[in-house]
Amino acid sequence: MTSTIMEFLILGRAVGFGLVIYGIYLDVPSRRKSVLQLLASPYDAN
């Protein structure tokens, strides 16, 4: 029972991680732009 739950959690985490990576690859230009804005915003505030 415990091993089944652990396998399910690991599988779910792997699937979620894969979806995140897939979304980043699909969305590279806009994601990179938003990341650069996030990185630049503290410096703009200062």
In a domain, 30, yes or no: yes
pTM equals: 0.42
Instruction: Identify the residue with better confidence: 46 or 19.
Output: 19
Domain range for 38 is 20-46
In a domain, 27, yes or no: yes
In a domain, 28, yes or no: yes
In a domain, 13, yes or no: no
In a domain, 6, yes or no: no
Number of domains observed in the structure of the chain: 1
The DSSP secondary-structure symbol of 46 reads: -
Of the candidates 41, 37, 25, 28, the one whose C-alpha atom is nearest the C-alpha of residue 17 is: 25
Whether the predicted pLDDT of 43 surpasses 70: no
In a domain, 4, yes or no: no
CA–CA separation, 17 and 19 (whole Å):
5
pLDDT score of 26: 75
3-39 pLDDT tens trace: 898 899 999 999 989 888 887 777 776 666 777 777 7
In a domain, 43, yes or no: yes
In a domain, 26, yes or no: yes
pLDDT score of 11: 92
